Amino acid sequence: MRTYHQLTDPDRSGLADQIGAQRRRVAERLASVGRIVAVMSGKGGVGKSYVTANLARALARAGKPVGVLDADLNGPTIPRLLETPHAARRTSPDGVEPATGLDGVKCISMAMLLEDGAPLDFKGPAAESFVWRGAMEASALRELLGDVAWGELDALLLDLPPGMQRYIELCDILGSPPPVLTVTIPTPESRDAVRRAMRAAVDRGSELLGIVENMVGGELKGSAGDELAQEFGVPVLARIPWHPTPDTWSALGSRL
Amino acid sequence: MKFLCVECDQQMAFGERQLPGDGTLAATFKCPKCGRVVAMLTNPMETQLVSSLGVEIGGRTVPAEPFEMMNTMVVTGGPAWSSDAQERLSRVPNFVRGMVKKIYADYAKERGIAEITPAVMDTARSELGLEGM
């Protein structure tokens, strides 16, 4: 009996072509974006979204059109940080219109598709949902990347959730690993978790832009920022105190 | 995905796709030599796995709409839509579909209607003066 590759007529479903079309759609959409920066950490609760939102605002205040894609599909916080209205987004033939938040930062988030406080859930068979849920989330990320009418942007910041799964999906969807801005807090626990994430990013081929050490100067003890910077040969771009000023963020924006 | 008629050693041609609305999928394939037709039937989990990739068995005839997967698969917390109502909603032009969907969803929510059916849509159109939507 012949095998798949010995059958020479094309696959009518063209699944590979459909996947290829999806990737082209993302590439075409992001062609108007100057640079993409993935803000990530291997550790939860270090302030990735907080850093992302305030960095975006600083860039916007400097006159650069900037967008934020909230890639934390299960715990989206960017709309609240940028104070965008909770409303469904309008769709035009060009795509879905992003929301506009503080300082004119554009953003899109799963929070805009869900009722306030509702968890992300998908229609489908409940049994063994782990089989398909990850693929659903990756498809959602692909649509957020490919279907939003950003217009011309100087930078698009991607606020990733803790862990590496979304980063890996991002690499697959984009076709190339995005530059990474890493956020940590000073503690050794954070250092250990963030190290794994940075190692994974290096292994995938991402450029490490630098480290933001958040929540500096309070009760959290340690020197994770310096240690990771030395280990990976990247700069500490900012040390964010508990009560940062707009200048704190502007300085980070100018170094990025 | 390809189908082979082993007896004829011929690749079978895709025939049609059916979505019965119960989460399953049926796709038929025909042998161009002997004419034998077979159907591939997938269970809800298998169908869901394909849907989650944003691809369509049998190929796409029109490009995907913006947020197509999310608009159809994400549970937004509103009332359920029957398959007939979903089909009817899918005929609404894309650029106003979200707004139309929200009107019907708000209507159902205000009245405690758990599932939107074509009958509910007809009543809503009449009550809200939305003839033509």
Q: Concatenate the DSSP letters of all residues of A55-108 into one string.
A: HHHHHHHTT--EEEEE--SSS--HHHHTT----PPPEETTEEPPEE-GGG-EEE
- Quote the pLDDT of residue B47: 85
CATH no. of B63-133:
1.10.8.550
- Quote the pLDDT of residue A132: 86
Query: What's the rounded Cα separation, in Å, for the pair B39 and A236?
Result: 60
Query: What's the rounded Cα separation, in Å, for the pair A163 and A159?
Result: 12
Q: Is A166 helix (H, G, I), strand (E, B) or coil?
A: helix
B49 contacts in chain A (CB < 8 Å): 131-132, 135
Whether A98 shows a pLDDT value over 80: the answer reads yes
Contact A13 B49 (CB under 8 A): no
B9 contacts in chain A (CB < 8 Å): 2
Query: What's the rounded Cα separation, in Å, for the pair B3 and B32?
Result: 12
Residue of A11, A22, A123 to mutate when probing chain B, most B C-beta within 10 A: A123
- Quote the pLDDT of residue B77: 67
Contact A136 B73 (CB under 8 A): yes
Domains in chain B: boundaries = 1-61, 63-133
Query: What's the rounded Cα separation, in Å, for the pair B124 and A193?
Result: 54
- pTM of the complete model: 0.81
User: Among all residues of chain B, which has the CA nearest to that of A134?
Assistant: B52
Question: CB distance from B68 to chain A under 8 Å?
Answer: yes
Pairing of strands B115-116, B37-42: unpaired
Q: How far is CA B72 from CA A20, A55, B102, in A?
A: 22, 33, 13
User: Mind listing the domains of chain A with CATH numbers?
Assistant: 34-255 (3.40.50.300)
- Quote the pLDDT of residue A138: 94
- Quote the pLDDT of residue A88: 62
B63 contacts in chain A (CB < 8 Å): 21
Q: Is A27 helix (H, G, I), strand (E, B) or coil?
A: helix
- Quote the pLDDT of residue B112: 67
Question: What is the least distance, in Å, from the CA of A124 to any CA of chain B?
Answer: 6
Burial class (CB in 10 A: 0-12, 13-18, 19+), A249: buried
Least confident of A103-107, B14-18, B49-53: B49-53
Highest mean pLDDT among A76-80, B81-85, B125-129: A76-80
- pLDDT category at B132 given cuts 50, 70, 90 is low
Query: What's the rounded Cα separation, in Å, for the pair B1 and B90?
Result: 27
Residue B75: which of A14, A123, A142 has the nearest Cβ?
A123
The residue behind tokens 């508990």 is A242
Residue A115: which of B2, B49, B77 has the nearest Cβ?
B77
Whether A105 shows a pLDDT value over 90: the answer reads yes
A81 with A91: CB under 8 angstroms? no
Residue B95: which of A91, A124, A135 has the nearest Cβ?
A91
Residue A121: which of B52, B75, B102 has the nearest Cβ?
B75
The CA-based angle B16-B18-B21, given to 5 degrees, is 170
Burial class (CB in 10 A: 0-12, 13-18, 19+), A202: middle
Q: Which residues pair with B40 in a beta bridge?
A: B27
B55 with B88: CB under 8 angstroms? no
Residue of A25, A73, A110, A122 to mutate when probing chain B, most B C-beta within 10 A: A122
Query: What's the rounded Cα separation, in Å, for the pair A150 and A107?
Result: 9
Higher pLDDT, B67 or B59: B67
How many other CB atoms sit within 10 Å of the CB of residue A34? 13
- Quote the pLDDT of residue A46: 95
Question: What is the least distance, in Å, from the CA of A93 to any CA of chain B?
Answer: 7
Question: What is the least distance, in Å, from the CA of B98 to any CA of chain A?
Answer: 7
Q: Is A137 helix (H, G, I), strand (E, B) or coil?
A: helix
Contact B70 A113 (CB under 8 A): yes
- Quote the pLDDT of residue A5: 84
CATH no. of B1-61:
2.20.25
Question: CB distance from B97 to chain A under 8 Å?
Answer: yes
Q: How far is CA A187 from CA A198, A221, A225, A246, in A?
A: 16, 6, 9, 25
**Which residues 104-133 of B are in CB contact (within 8 Å) with A?**
none
Average pLDDT, integer, range A92-102? 89
Highest mean pLDDT among A58-72, B1-15, B110-124: A58-72
Q: What are the tens digits of pLDDT across the range A143-188?
A: 999 999 999 999 999 999 998 899 999 999 999 999 999 999 999 9
Q: Concatenate the DSSP letters of all residues of A180-234 into one string.
A: EEEEE-SSHHHHHHHHHHHHHHHHHT--EEEEEEEEETSS----HHHHHHHHHT-
Average pLDDT, integer, range A48-65? 97
Contact B66 A121 (CB under 8 A): no
Whether B133 shows a pLDDT value over 60: the answer reads no
Q: How far is CA A2 from CA A7, A8, A16, B34, in A?
A: 7, 11, 20, 18
Question: CB distance from B59 to chain A under 8 Å?
Answer: yes
Of A224, A220, A212, A218, the closest CA to residue A248 belongs to A212
Helix (H) or strand (E) segment spanning residue B99: helix B94-110
Average pLDDT, integer, range B55-59? 77
Contact A91 B66 (CB under 8 A): yes
Query: What's the rounded Cα separation, in Å, for the pair B34 and B32?
Result: 6
- Quote the pLDDT of residue A125: 76
Question: CB distance from B48 to chain A under 8 Å?
Answer: yes
B59 contacts in chain A (CB < 8 Å): 12-14, 18
Q: Which two tokens stand for residue A193?
A: 């978790």
- pLDDT category at B14 given cuts 50, 70, 90 is confident
Q: What are the tens digits of pLDDT across the range B80-105?
A: 778 788 888 888 888 888 788 888 88
Pairing of strands A153-159, A66-70: parallel
A166 with A74: CB under 8 angstroms? no
Question: CB distance from B76 to chain A under 8 Å?
Answer: yes
- Quote the pLDDT of residue A252: 95
- Are the folds of B1-61 and B63-133 the same? no
